[in-house]
Amino acid sequence: MDSPSITDHAAVPGALQPALSSPTASRYLLAALTLFYTSSFVDRAILNILAQPIKDDLGLTDAELGILGGFAFAVLYAGLGIPIARLAERFSRVTIIAMALTLWSAMTMACGAASSFIQLAIARAGVGIGEAACTPCAHSLIGDSFPADKRATALSVYSLGIPIGILTGTLGGAWVAETYGWRAAFVAVGAPGLLLALLARLTIREPERGRFDPPTAAVPPPLTHVIRYLLARRTFNHMAIGVSISTLVSAGMVAFMAPFLLRGPYGLDLSDVAWVIAGLSGGAALIGTYAGGALCDRLATRDARLYLQLPAIAYFIAGPVYAVALMQNNLVALISLCVVAQICALIYLGPTFGVLHNMVEARMRATAIAIVFVLTSLIGLGLGPVLVGWISDTTAASGVGATQWAQCPIVPSDACRAASFAGVRSGLIVAALLYLWAGVHYYLASKTLPQDLNGPASSQHS
């Protein structure tokens, strides 16, 4: 029999279950979950700002950097998402998050001890295993803590962990790396997560499942039922494709923006690059992430389709503006255009997950989120950095010739540096334009949203 310490009230009838009923308790839960999510993105972002020092120290190619930022992390992150989500439908989500925090923090610290590509890839896979548990559990907790018309805003607040984490990891990682080396940076950002694990276990209480939803079955539906339920809704299908493409773009750009700035004609060192990326992935992304949920919760009271039409419009702006920005050799012009593009690119987060929460019943929520994250992880996080890295290497090799390019890591030259910059610029531009594709799917998803939001009431399972 499962231990009552890790089982919620629905799994063990009569078990003592503290109620989460006050607005203050809900806000505390949201703040704590946002802090944990921030920690996860600090641990992810640290690799990106350290990419160039790691490449130089370990003699890696851009393709190998792409694998470290992509598949090495994403495969297990995606593969374990659904099994962990199924546990979250039955057992204590808070305990699962505390255990996950411990694992991903310890594995981040282990990255600092890696002396080869293989060792670093194994440690990154360990980070992915830990972080696979965070979002399904957190989304399930948030869905049980806020009503339907407040979820997009609450999920936007939770998603602020992405830009805050990237900002913190970028600035903190760059400073530690320049002062003590890139290995010390991994240890410095991983260690605080061990304390957060204790905070999670000792101070967060489980909310009542389905508190703001219509009555549902006491046990979670089978996985096959959840999959059939989601695939039967065109809104979900288009939204899943759109968010996967969007994640592909953002993962590729995040992985290679620091190398792009360091290799370019901008005269920046690692500390300068950290501030630029912090402004883009931190400051501008904060605005876009929060604005998406807040605007949609306010505007969509008249027309639910705006939950997905607003992200579609934002994508149609983000793609071309990013592409033009990356063509600039003037740093001020580059940053100014990137700010606009980055705000638009993050509009989708709150509305997307708010729609998904409202489309499913309470005990399907963690599984539904995990299914989406399997897609975004394998297609987006996994493929995005690899795609940009492959385009970068291929373009650079064609610029100087394959023979000379193969010698560039050993005998660097001005021609090698110019080709390397041209390659990574090409990869980032190609990725940015894919935002247009994501926007098309979000617009198509909006057309069927009103009827698909009526689904949970008819989703009862046997």
> What is the pLDDT, as a whole number, of residue 19?
43
The torsion angles phi and psi of 132, rounded to 5 degrees, stand at -60, -25
> What is the pLDDT, as a whole number, of residue 110?
93
Q: Spell out the alpha helix ranges (H) of 23-70.
A: 23-49, 51-58, 62-69
Element (H, E) at 144: none
Which CATH number does 20-207+219-458 carry? 1.20.1250.20
In the numeric block, which tokens belong to residue 220?
């979670």
The torsion angles phi and psi of 437, rounded to 5 degrees, stand at -65, -45
pLDDT tens string 134-148: 888 888 898 888 887
Contacts of 48 (CB under 8 A, 6+ apart): 69, 170, 254, 255, 257, 258, 277
Average pLDDT taken over every residue of the chain: 83
pLDDT at 72 over 80: no
Higher-pLDDT residue of 297 and 51 is 51
CA geometry: angle 5, 10, 13, nearest 5 deg: 80
> What is the pLDDT, as a whole number, of residue 215?
55
In the numeric block, which tokens belong to residue 143?
């869905």
CA geometry: angle 196, 186, 290, nearest 5 deg: 55
Please, are residues 380 and 248 in contact by the beta-carbon 8 Å criterion? Answer: yes
In the numeric block, which tokens belong to residue 120?
């670093």
Higher-pLDDT residue of 431 and 452 is 431
Q: Where are the domains of the chain?
A: 20-207+219-458
- Using alpha carbons, select from 324, 322, 375, 326 the residue that is nearest to residue 344: 322
Task: Work out the average pLDDT over 360-371.
Answer: 81
Report the C-alpha gap between 67 and 289 in whole angstroms: 27
pLDDT at 60 over 60: yes
pLDDT at 361 over 70: yes
> What is the pLDDT, as a whole number, of residue 426?
95
Q: What percent of the chain has pLDDT over 90?
A: 32
pLDDT tens string 149-178: 788 788 888 888 888 888 888 888 889 988
Contacts of 173 (CB under 8 A, 6+ apart): 45, 46, 49, 50, 185, 188, 189, 274
Residue 421's pLDDT band (boundaries 50, 70, 90)?
very high
- Using alpha carbons, select from 310, 51, 340, 94 the residue that is nearest to residue 205: 94
User: How far, CA to CA in Å, does 28 sit from each of 205, 332, 421?
Assistant: 10, 39, 45
Contacts of 364 (CB under 8 A, 6+ apart): 89, 220, 221, 226, 229, 459
Report the C-alpha gap between 38 and 54 in whole angstroms: 23
